Amino acid sequence: MILFQIFFSLFIVFVLIKTISRFRSKEINVGWLSFWLIFWLVAEIVVIFPNLSVEFAHLVGIGRGTDLVIYLSLTLLFFFFFHLLTKVEQQKKEITKLTRKISLMEAKIENCKIKN
Amino acid sequence: MNNDLLSLRRWGFSFMIYIVVPAYNEQKKIGRVIRDLFQHGYKNVVVIDDGSSDDTYVEAKKTGVQILRHEVNRGQGASLQTGNEFALKQGADIIVHFDADGQMSVEDIGHAVEKMQRENIDIILGSRFLGKTTGIPWTKKNIILPLARLFNNFFSGLKLTDAHNGFRILSRHAAEKIMITQEGMAHNSEITAQIKKLNLKYAEYPVKIVYNEYGQGVGGGIKIIRDLLINKLIK
């Protein structure tokens, strides 16, 4: 357990540095920065103080802390995946709209050229 | 179909028939298909090159046909919608969807249009199962197409003998009302669903399809079902 806590903590430090640098180079906004900071800090706390997850799990009626972590993680993951899917479909439709407009415009230009 | 147009015809005004040919990587067949259409007297033809990676555009251009080009591949559904919008802008009264792979018969167009005008139909859907097509691959005929029919009837509520046929003739009214948002092959089921929703008058017409290639297999069918389901969930 201790070895994992060390490796994980190093990983968290690395991730936090990356996240902050991404924010500085304007790749992500304040909203996402806050989200990921909180997310990774909570993860770090759960790993450093594993008993916390056990207590929390008992609070909501689940046997093991690990189980609770897994349930929550899976739920979050599925939600985000579905959200992403929706966004991708939306983007596909938007790209098609643009592609169509370009093709119609190009045809107009060509036909104008032919007329003149 | 608009009754005014019918009476116009009786007075000698002619209809503008526009043939929409969606094409993706058909450099070998597109030239012949277009020339065939021209030879049968159809002057208003538009090819939609759906981001082909081969010389479809070049080969089509040689025939002098009007071409629209999608910068990136969007799918047959998207190509047909582009073609519809273009043809409507040009003033088309009747729009024909015709495949670029040389499997369809140009002769079917004239007879189907006649039936359309005679019976005042909004949209004609081609069918391989009304007698004219032979040589359908066994797995297609007995497994894939019956399954396709089942799914199509489930998604659209229309009972068709051929659920997945690219041969289509639309009146201007139908083309204006129908909006194809399914970009890939699922557009077939989407169109039939819209026919039902918009209460358009439709009819199937026997068409001759020549089988040189297999076309959509099980993988293609699964993709279609996936697209339709995703669309239902997102809406």
Please write the tens of the pLDDT for every residue from B68-117.
Answer: 999 999 999 999 999 999 999 999 999 999 999 999 999 999 999 999 99
Question: What percent of chain B has pLDDT above 90?
Answer: 61
Locate the DSSP E strands across B156-223: 168-171, 202-206
For chain B, say whether A88 makes contact (Cβ under 8 Å): no
Average pLDDT value for residue range B47-53: 97
Chain A interface includes B71 (CB < 8 A): yes
ipTM over 0.85: no
**Residue of B48, B71, B231 lying closest to A102 (CB–CB):** B71
Higher-confidence position of A98 and B140: A98
Q: How far is CA B38 from CA B34, B67, B68, B82, B85, in A?
A: 6, 14, 18, 21, 22
Predicted confidence band of residue B2 (pLDDT cuts 50, 70, 90): very low
Residue B233 has pLDDT above 80, yes or no: no
- CB B123 within 8 Å of CB B175: no
Give the angle subtended at the CA of B173 by the CAs of B172 and B179, to the nearest 5°. Answer: 95
Query: A92 contacts in B (CB within 8 Å)?
Result: 183
Query: Is the pLDDT at A61 greater than 90, yes or no?
Result: no
Per-residue pLDDT tens for B200-222? 999 999 999 887 666 676 777 78
Bigger pLDDT: A98 vs B229: A98
Question: Token pair of B173, please?
Answer: 């009214």
**CB-CB neighbors (< 8 A) of A99 in chain B:** 51, 70-72, 74, 78
Asked if the C-beta of A105 comes within 8 angstroms of chain B's C-beta atoms, the answer is: no
CA distance B199 to chain A (A): 26
User: Residue B38: pLDDT above 60?
Assistant: yes
The predicted-structure confidence for B119-175, as pLDDT tens digits, reads as follows: 999 999 999 888 777 777 787 778 887 887 787 777 777 888 887 899 999 999 999
Segment A84-111 mean pLDDT: 95
Q: Which residues of A touch B89 (CB under 8 A)?
A: 104
